Structure 1
Amino acid sequence: MEIVPGNRQGHARAGQDPELLRRLLRAKDRMDAASHEAWPVRRLARVSNVSEAHFARSFKQAFGVPPHRYLLTRRIERAKALLRDTDLPILEIALQTGWNSLGTFGRTFRDVTGESPGELRAREQAARHELEQVPHCYVSAAHRPGLTIAVSEKRRREAGATKGTPQKPEVP
């Protein structure tokens, strides 16, 4: 398997069977179209017509992130857009983007983005006029969360940093 440097989520890596990639893309497209729905590996494997273990392994190999992390990225990306572009209540945004609880949404959102949904909304609305001249595709790409490590791993590292334990450097 050839590793493609700088692989962004959504761009398949070279070296996989084209038929398998088509099947994986089918599942990825379903997640993109309905990221607010629950997408356990079992359901994604059925969409791709492969076993659960093979799906999970192949998806990560093809796209550089596990399916759950890819879905989380899409949900956060959608929530950021709704926070930036609408006046919907934060609870409504949480429910529309697939979370069942405002607390889980807020905690996960802060873990991934580094700020609360309310803080992001305030900052984005203050800077809105500056982005009007930038094409939407560039703005979306710039706001895509970079989940190169699992949220739980990020929490462990941050907890270790507050306790004074040395941290392993992140490998890009």
Structure 2
Amino acid sequence: MSREVEQTNRRLLRARDAMDRAYAEPLDIRSLASIAHVSEAHFIRTFSATFGETPHRYLQRRRVERAMFLLRRTEKSVTDVCMEVGFSSLGTFSRTFSDIVGVSPTTYRQRGEVIPYVPSCFVMAWTRPSSFGEARDKTR
């Protein structure tokens, strides 16, 4: 791997880490591209090529991952979870959650998707939403 590619990958990882840390905050492409020290268009292209999804989809998936945890482990309302993870619209949250997970947030909570006594590292690996926008099992 060339030095230039390594440097670009490091910069992209910095931007992705910023999304992981501040997923609930309003993040825009301009600020993420500045973290990576590249133009906005180059950032979107390179991020997509490197991580297999657009920065916007990655951020949505991170927010949904956190929402899944909050729905499983807290009694907060779906609306409160929606706002806490960074969505500004309940409709967008529900649609995005359903697209990624395959069921609505309410159905997900009612089904209690996590089986007791399973180590959390396995649960996180298994329940991590697909980066391709399809649920693992839409028949559930």
TM-score normalised by structure 2 residue count: 0.87
CA distance in 1 between counterparts of 2:96 and 2:53 reads 17
- Between 1:108-117 and 1:75-84, the stretch displaced more is 108-117
- Residue 136 of structure 1: aligned partner: 120
Larger radius of gyration: 1
- How far off is 1:26 after superposition? 0.4
Structure with the larger RCO, 1 or 2 (CA within 8 Å, 6+ apart): 2
Gaps of 5+ in 1: 1-13, 152-172
Gaps of 5+ in 2: 135-140
- How far off is 1:91 after superposition? 0.7
Which of 94, 108, 113 aligns to 2:96? It is 108
CA distance in 1 between counterparts of 2:53 and 2:43 reads 12
TM-score normalised by structure 1 residue count: 0.71
- Residue 41 of structure 1: aligned partner: 29
- How far off is 1:147 after superposition? 2.9
> Where in structure 1 do 4 or more consecutive aligned residues deviate above 3 Å?
none
- Residue 25 of structure 1: aligned partner: 13
- Residue 7 of structure 1: aligned partner: none
- Residue 148 of structure 1: aligned partner: 132
Tell me if the contact between 2:33 and 2:43 (Cα under 8 Å) persists in the aligned partners: yes
Q: What pairs up with 1:1-172 in 2 under 5 angstroms? A: 17-124=5-112, 128=114, 131-149=115-133
Q: Count matched residues.
A: 133
User: Amino acid of the residue matched to residue 139 of structure 1?
Assistant: V
- How far off is 1:116 after superposition? 1.1
Percent sequence identity is: 45
